[in-house]
Amino acid sequence: MKVLVPIKRVIDYNVKVRVRSDGTGVETANVKMSMNPFDEIAVEEAVRQKEAGVVSEIVVVSCGTTACQETLRTALAIGADRAILVDTAVELQPLAVAKLLRAVVDREQPRLVILGKQAIDDDCNQTGQMLAALLGWPQATFASKLVVEAESALVTREVDGGLETIRVGLPAVITTDLRLNEPRYVTLPNIMKAKKKTLDPVTPDALGVDVTPRLKTLRVDEPPKRKAGAKVPDAQTLADKLKNEAKVVQ
Amino acid sequence: MSEYSAPIADMQFVLEHVAGLADVNALPGMEDASADLVAEILAQSARFSSEVLSPLNRPGDLEGSRLEQGVVKTPRGFREAYRQFTEGGWNGLQFDPAIGGQGLPRLVGTPLMEMWNSANLSFSLCPLLTTGAIEALLLRGSAAQQAFYLPRMVSGEWTGTMNLTEPQAGSDLGLLKTRAVAHGDHYRLFGQKIFITYGDHDLAENIIHMVLARIDGAPPGVRGISLFIVPKILVNADGSLGERNDLRCLSLEHKLGIHASPTAIMQYGEREGAIGWLVGEENRGLETMFIMMNAARFAVGVEGLGMGERAYQRARDYARERIQSRDLSGGGESVPIIRHPDVRRMLMDMKSRVEAMRALAYVVAAALDRAHLHPDADERARSQAFVDLMIPVVKGWSTETGQEVASIAVQVHGGMGFIEETGAAQYYRDARITTIYEGTTGIQANDLLGRKLLRDGALTLRGVIAQIGECVGALALIEGESCGHCTVISRELGVAVSHLSTTVDWLIATAASDLRSAYAGAVPLLHLVGLVCGAWQLGRSARAAAGLLAAGDGDAEFLRAKITTARYFAEHALTRSASLQVEICRGAESVLALPESAF
């Protein structure tokens, strides 16, 4: 079974994100970038399914600038077999990415697409769902457990009330949640081997997709700074303030 | 307490723009070590260091390695970390792929070693010792010995040790007494070895001890010492593990630092004798050990760097968090102590010294690669001469500096630095060993003066001085926004290198008539060479950064900080070159004047 794993290059989770001084977005120049952690979980899951003999080939795909090659190489070092770079300098929004992925799915014909539930940069949580809709495939989002069978997949989902287990027919789109697995540490021999695996570039034009942004960002601001708190003399004053000023208790 | 975070930006800058990664990448057999691959390797090693090794550092210090019913147990978590480390392939990164290594250059291995040292010095000693044993076998082991032992040592399935020291034979190995008695195709060893790092442990199923001993009837002194391979568990001809050899760990030392690293007293031959096989020729063991020791000394220098970096990070993070007293420039509120000038001075001092150590160590690592692999024999010889000169400097100066930096880190914390929970105290204790093992600072300084300076009439060092002069000239020519800083660096480096030059002339002249006076200045000389060479590498760093800035290439904020840091080092740290010159050239009359009874 072939699996497609879309991955996104984002600002590393350890970096303190700074807003550009002109308010047009966040600073990404000379900032450490790495694979979106949810996507890393998706790659890890695909590799585990392959090690279990369920999956036969893992193709990773990333949409963005040529710098995304680095992120694809990391996925290859974790254990993906080959990579596709949809090379574009245009700012990509979830719908454009979903359309690009649909085109890649048409070419590659995977039985399963596994991707992160959301990216930690814009937190959109849309691409997987849009892709499933465009393909007319079933979707299983926020997966915390995945059992792949011949014609279907049993997916445990993290929902507000707890855990929900559903069965989806294949082909399907699955988005990963945090507790699906713990990604492995990449080994040095696999980093070396990843360099020799295939990485094919393709353009949005070649895929026949118009990636022009549909949404316009008006302005990006820093979150408001937390104001200094006030000291209260006693518990009674605190209770009064909670009741009358903050209005958080009745 | 914050975990270690690898300074990848600086590491990459030094690799690419100071140490010449591209040139090393062009050496035969090193085609894989491209900048993008190295970036990925650094990123993955950094993650492993922060997430696996660093969290075990303090628990390992508290728990320590223990000897229980004859078995050495490492602290909780070390076994699992070691398994992950070896499965990750990190153990064999610098060795030939033919024996299971990854064939990467020393230059790439050096930042990785730095990370492991920073994250957990006690842990990283185990692979370090294995590497030493592998190198000894590669150097002088027979083809059969290499085929038999190396693959499983390179993979990390088995670890290695170096057994030199005995109670009466420390810096002077000529005094060693461990005996080897010929017995068919092998020998039987009898004797006691002390200070054996990872002499016994539970991380791997077998330990391959490399042991120095004296064959019965061998000449006394250093010319009668042979090297033996003595496995903890004897290996059958088919490679399976056989019987326990006649050796054991008698006890573990109670130490000031590196508590998680088991330092063993080893007893060989309590019954019929420990079975060992000769490595190389009879009576030539010390020679092999000395060649190998160069690599080990370099590695310990990198420990000084690693401990300095870790201590700096801790102090920097604390200085940002700790709120105390108002800003001198006004304002009513108490501020983080990083705003206070004296704390800032300490942080600059630590940061600049760490960056100087890093640049020097990586440059020497690149020279090591050239010395091994360069197609041109002259270039190999030149690089080897530079490496030989610099090994005692990297070892001696970087460990002394690393220890001083660790001490300042305690100071930045104030009273909290003296409290173990902040972590600063552990780095200080752990760093303390680095100026001692693999040859004390005094031994390094004597090596620098005797073997590396007096022996060739300071030819190699004068070559380095000439190169520093070129750097001084180039820095003076830099224009544009970096001009002001680079002019200062150029001026200060020019002054300091003249102090070094004068000192070298005095030492050469004095040694001819009064060797004791010259040697009394050996350690100050080591500091002087380290200081000037560190400033030289920071000067080269500033030059590279100025070029990148002018070209609009790279992170401008990082590059400006690099240049300012180099200026700080040149303007402040480097001023000690004057006092060191005076200290050395005043001679040793008062140093050596008192009779022994006056002490």
What tens digit of pLDDT does each residue of B466-515 get?
999 999 999 999 999 999 999 999 999 999 999 999 999 999 999 999 99
Which of A29, A70, A192 is facing B36, going by the closest CB pair? Answer: A70
A58 with A5: CB under 8 angstroms?
Answer: yes
Q: Is there a single domain that holds both residue B92 and residue B161? A: no
Task: With CB atoms and an 8 Å threshold, state whether A34 touches B43.
Answer: yes
Is the domain of B162 the same as that of B135?
Answer: no
- Cβ within 8 Å of B, A 73-92: 73-74, 77
Closest-CA residue in chain A for B92? A188
Kindly identify which residue of chain B lies nearest to residue A73, measuring between CA atoms.
B40
Long-range contacts of B579-583 (CB under 8 A, 24+ apart): B580/B499, B580/B503, B580/B524, B580/B525, B580/B527, B580/B528, B580/B531, B581/B499, B581/B500, B581/B502, B581/B503, B581/B528, B583/B521, B583/B524
Confidence of residue B360 (pLDDT cuts 50, 70, 90): very high
Active-site option among B309, B438, B492, B583 = B438
Residues B126 and B216 in one domain: no
Rounded distance between C-alpha atoms, residue A186 and residue B65, angstroms = 28
Tally Cβ neighbours within 10 Å of residue B360: 27
Alpha-carbon gap, residue A129 to A139, rounded angstroms: 7
Decide if B392 is inside a domain: no
Peptide bond into B111 cis (omega under 30): no
> Residue B45's domain is classified under what CATH number?
1.10.540.10
- What one-character DSSP code corresponds to residue B204? S
pLDDT digits (tens, 9 = 90+) for A155-164: 999 999 999 9
> Are both B510 and B567 inside the same structural domain?
yes
Q: Residue A248: its pLDDT value, please?
A: 86
Over range B141-148, report the average pLDDT: 96
* C-alpha–C-alpha distance, residues B349 and B340, integer Å: 14
CB B527 within 8 A of CB B397: yes
Residue B263, domain CATH:
2.40.110.20
Q: CA of B54, closest CA in chain A: separation in Å? A: 15
> Of A15, A188, A190, A195, which to mutate for an interface test with B (greatest number of B Cβ within 10 Å)?
A188
Tens of pLDDT along A165-222?
A: 999 999 999 999 999 999 999 999 999 999 999 999 999 999 999 999 999 999 999 8
My answer on whether B178 and B214 are in the same domain is yes
**Of A61, A38, A48, nearest in space to A147 by CA:** A48
| B504 part of a folded domain | yes
Nearest to B32 among A32, A186, A192 (CB): A192
Q: What angle do CA B501, B506, B511 make, to 5 degrees?
A: 130
3-state secondary structure at position B274: strand
Contact (CB<8Å) A185/B44: yes
Quick count: other Cβ atoms within 10 Å of Cβ B333? Answer: 8
Spatial separation of the C-alpha atoms in residues B192 and B208, rounded to whole Å = 16
Residue A34's SS3 state is strand
Find the domain containing B236 and state its range. 157-284
The complex's ipTM works out to 0.88
Mean pLDDT in residue range B35-60:
96
Q: What distance in Å separates the CA atoms of residue B96 and residue B11, rounded to the nearest whole number?
A: 24
Same domain, B248 and B166: yes
Query: Is residue A250 pLDDT above 80, yes or no?
Result: no
pLDDT score for B259: 98
Are B489 and B495 in contact by the 8 Å Cβ rule? The answer is no
CB A186 to CB B37 under 8 A? no
Using the 3D structure, point to which of B223, B255, B284 is the last residue of a domain. B284
Which of B5, B40, B556 is the closest to A73 by Cβ?
A: B40
- Alpha carbon of B25: minimum distance to chain A alpha carbons (Å): 14
Q: Which residue in A191, A195, A197, A199 has the most chain B C-beta atoms within 10 A of its own C-beta, making it the best mutation to test that interface?
A: A191
Nearest-angstrom CA–CA distance, A117 and A125: 6
Q: What per-residue confidence (pLDDT) applies to B292?
A: 81
Q: How far is B133 from chain A, CA to nearest CA, in Å?
A: 22
At B160, phi and psi to the nearest 5? -130, 160
Structural domain ending residue among the three candidates B284, B311, B336 = B284
Chain B residues close to A189, C-beta within 8 Å: 89, 102
Q: What is the pLDDT of residues B556-577, one digit of tens each?
A: 999 999 999 999 999 999 999 9
The verdict on B535 and B510 lying in the same domain is yes
Per-residue pLDDT, B1: 61
Are B563 and B486 in contact by the 8 Å Cβ rule? The answer is: yes
Give a yes or no: residue B231 inside a domain.
yes
- Give the residue among B69, B406, B423, B71 at the shortest CA–CA distance from B262: B71
B293 band by pLDDT with thresholds 50, 70 and 90: confident
Residues of B in contact with A29 (CB under 8 A): 555
End-to-end CA distance of chain A: 58
Residue B74: pLDDT band with limits 50, 70, 90: very high
- Residue B241 forms part of a structural domain: yes
**Digit-coded pLDDT (tens) for B307-337:** 999 999 999 999 999 999 999 988 889 999 9
Is B438 catalytic? The answer is: yes
Per this entry, what is the length of chain A? 250
For residue A189, give the nearest of B39, B47, B102 by CB distance.
B102
Q: For residue A188, list chain B residues with Cβ-Cβ distance below 8 A.
A: 41, 44, 88-90, 93, 102
Cα(A166)–Cα(A156) distance, integer angstroms: 6
B128 and B173 share one domain:
no
Question: Are B543 and B471 in contact, with CB atoms under 8 Å apart?
Answer: yes
Q: For residue A225, what pLDDT is reported?
A: 85
Interface size, chain A vs chain B, as Cβ–Cβ contacts under 8 Å = 51
Alpha carbons B594 and B599: distance in angstroms, whole number:
8
Number of domains in chain B: 3
Structure tokens at B564: 């300012």
B311 domain-assigned: no
> How many Cβ atoms sit within 10 Å of the Cβ of residue B293?
21
Q: What is the mean pLDDT of chain B?
A: 96
Which A positions 203-232 lie with beta carbon below 8 A of chain B? none
Does B152 map to a domain? no
pLDDT exceeding 90 applies to what percent of chain A? 86
Residues 4-23 of A with CB under 8 A from B: 14
Q: Which residue among B252, B284, B316 closes a domain?
A: B284
**Is the CB of A30 less than 8 angstroms away from the CB of B555?**
yes
Higher pLDDT, A8 or B92: A8
The reply to whether B195 and B89 lie within a common domain is: no
- Cα-Cα-Cα-Cα torsion B371, B373, B377, B381, nearest 10 degrees, comes to 0
Same domain? B171 vs B268: yes
> Residue A244: is its pLDDT beyond 70?
yes
Whether B331 is covered by a domain: the verdict is: no
- Looking at the fold, whether B42 and B121 belong to one and the same domain comes out as yes
Residue B146 within any structural domain of the chain:
no
Q: Cα–Cα distance between B474 and B547 in angstroms, integer?
A: 12
In the predicted model, is pLDDT for residue B399 greater than 70? yes
CA closest to B87 among chain A residues = A187
B555 to A77: CB separation less than 8 angstroms, yes or no: no
Judgement on whether residues B254 and B194 belong to the same structural domain of the protein: yes
B556 contacts on A by Cβ (under 8 Å): 30
Which residue is it, tokens 């010492």? Answer: B225
Q: Which of A14, A185, A194 sits opposite B88 (nearest CB)?
A: A185
| Of residues A30, A32, A188, nearest to B41 (C-beta) | A188
Phi and psi, residue B190, nearest 5°: -135, 125
| Interface contact flag, A185 B102, Cβ < 8 Å | no
